[in-house]
Structure 1
């Protein structure tokens, strides 16, 4: 099994790089905000298009989280191992769009609603399965990107 992608930009063991995080430039924050708005609006639109009853199984939330995690695996592998991209790509697409699209807070609310609605077993299954499936989706996205790019397990620092 190949290793997960490594963020080549920040090493939190290096004091100067920790300080860099505290000085986040406004342009980076703007990229995160713009991307987050787009991702959250996409998730909200899917929730409106495919609503579920409060105690029903939250298929849309599960699909959003799993597809978002798959895309995070694709994106992070692509921009750390396959392509050289400008510095604003990760904040815009990774933190912003995909961070705003995925919704693990709604996942927790859905679990509570399922329990209140008498669906404790389904809630427990959802509680356990979601993080496992989400990690598998990140791995699958990363592995597929490496396979399609011909970088099977290679690690390049761009």
Structure 2
């Protein structure tokens, strides 16, 4: 299981996701460009000292990420408000790569089309979306719950 952030805009969200991933032992891929300089104080503040304990790989762009994806056969699971499958109906696999778009723009169509599974978190009508760091935590927790149950 991995988390991938596509061109994230907000350092605080990235720091929070890095902290969450470090706590669960999940590697993180960051696809650039990012909307802030790497090492920004907000990133360190949100991630606290957990970011140093995390497994983070930076990629210069989507093409570089897809060329180095490990394992290459892993499914891309995209979190999206345009998703076709409610989170509660999605079935996760241990090698899934959980992809989250930028806070301002999400992901472009070519990334959306590359996804093997598109997942949405069901929320109340009239609400647009959740914060990306919250979404990442919710989806990661469900994915880990499912894959840990299936491995026992």
Provide TM-score, normalisation by structure 2. Answer: 0.29
Q: Which has the larger radius of gyration?
A: 1
- Which fold has the larger relative contact order, with Cα–Cα distance below 8 Å and residues 6 or more apart in sequence? 1
TM-score normalised to structure 1 length: 0.28
Higher helix share: 1
